[in-house]
Amino acid sequence: MSKISVLGRPWAPYAVALIGAGVVVLLAWMSRDQLNPVISGREAPEFSALDSQGISRSTHDYRGKVLLLNIWATWCETCKEEMPSMQRLYEQMKGEDFEILAVSVDAPMGQADLLFGMSGGDLWAYADSLSLTFPILHDPFGQVARAFRITGVPESFVIDRNGVIFKKVAGPTAWDAAQNVELIRRLAGAEG
């Protein structure tokens, strides 16, 4: 009887394919949290970003409120067009269980960001120039953008009081439009 050798055997390609498939399944299983899409109906990823005083704010700080999470940058022209509608929505919703978190992916001043290669701007001067009073957070290393798997800016997420994504919007929108105000009021009025 001859020795069994993997090389030259008709079943060898099947064994290699089976081992390869096993490796792929194992890798997918090990990174399963990273493979889940960030879509409506899923729990929003946890994140933290810095406020204007350099204090870290996280998703947990806002649990129990409806959130409009907006990911933007100072160099983004459509972000600048969208911001006034967010400010009007913020003013309309004062006193309700609602918060806007505008998270900038701008790099630190004088540096290029890792996601888009654009130079960082002055977030606080930008917010002042548009008279924005809602919370502005800074994520200079793109952790929030990666967690939410954004494809560009602006990208926004309406998150209910239980931390579940209700709506995702890629690109600018008129946040003070009647349908958006109604949606947010309905979510804010719902018991958690």
pLDDT tens column, 2-52: 555 555 677 767 777 778 777 777 766 665 555 566 778 899 999 999 999
Compute the average pLDDT of residues 164-183. 97
pTM of structure: 0.79
**Residue 107 per-residue DSSP state:** P
Contacts 24+ apart (CB under 8 A), 131-135: 131/87, 132/83, 132/86, 132/87, 132/102, 133/87, 133/90, 133/91, 134/86, 134/87, 134/90, 134/99, 134/100, 134/101, 134/102, 135/51, 135/57, 135/99, 135/100, 135/101, 135/102
Q: Residue 3: what pLDDT?
A: 52
Phi and psi of 16, rounded to 5°? -65, -45
Q: Residue 110: what pLDDT?
A: 83
Indicate the pLDDT class of residue 142, thresholds 50, 70 and 90.
Answer: confident
**pLDDT tens digits, one per residue of 52-98:** 999 999 888 998 999 999 999 999 999 999 999 999 999 999 989 99
Tokens of 89: 């929505």
